[in-house]
Copies of this chain bind each other. A is one copy, B any other.
Amino acid sequence: MKCEQCIVRQFNALKSLEKNDLIRISGCKTSKFIQKGEVLFREGESINGVFCIKEGVCKLTKLSANGKDQIVKLVVRGDLLGQRSLVTDEKSNLTAIAVNEMEVCFIPKSEILNDLSKNANFSLDMLQDMAKELRIADNVIVDMAQKSVKQRLADVLVYLNTTFDNDDKGFLGVTLSREDYANLVGTATESAIRILSQFKKEGYISTTGKQIKILDLESLKRIE
């Protein structure tokens, strides 16, 4: 599909590009499907472009000193991935792994870098995106430092519930392993499992295999 016609563009900074620029970019972008578990890029690699997420979800992880992967954030449909690589020449600080089947477009850095200096709206939009990401990151820092594991896990469930449409049976729209949950909140896998079991016992959620259904959102929000 051509960028000019792609609705996903409306969700990110690409919406600020002029039509002729979009056509040019459309001509050099590559589009691909990525399977669950596949790696888009690894920590330490050069990205040299941005991914526009057309469909699916991926996790951005970083390997900590103790050998555990921390999931820093989830990147979803409509997001741009790798903006930082556009403005710095550093290698990626994070690894990106598909959480479910994804469709992404890749736009080479060389092709889009000019737009940053020529199109003020575009670069302002990028600035606003980054400012927003920065605010969210600051909030995550505070939560990590101050909230209990149980609170953080409840937060994640609430976040998933509000960010993704539930499936037709009412399960969360994204299916994560217990290890993913642990890596999102920064705890041991066993601890995440234990707390989810407790939430189940208390009637806040129900589970079928990996699938989780929120039964009592308000109680999850109130956990402390």
Interface residues of A (CB under 8 A from B): 62, 64-66, 68, 70, 72, 83-84, 86-88, 90, 93-94, 116-118, 120-121, 123-124, 126-128, 130-135, 137-147, 185-186, 224
A42 → chain B, closest Cβ, in Å? Answer: 15
Whether the pair A141, B144 counts as a contact (CB closer than 8 A) is: yes
Task: Return A71 CB to nearest CB of chain B, in Å.
Answer: 9
Residue of B whose beta carbon sits closest to that of A70: B142
Number of copies of this chain in the oligomer?
A: 2
Closest to A148 in B: B66
Report B-chain residues with C-beta under 8 Å of the C-beta of A146.
64-66, 68, 70, 186
Q: Which residues of B contact A128 (CB under 8 A)?
A: 87-88
Contact A127 B87, beta carbon cutoff 8 Å = yes
Residue of B with least CB distance to A145: B186
* 4 cross-chain pairs, A with B, having the tightest CB-CB distances, nearest first: A145-B186, A64-B146, A137-B137, A144-B144
Question: Do residues B66 and A138 form an inter-chain contact, with CB atoms below 8 A?
Answer: no
- CB of B145 within 8 A of CB of A144, answer yes
Q: Are B65 and A131 in contact (CB under 8 A)?
A: no
Q: Nearest Cβ in chain B — how far from A58, in angstroms? A: 15
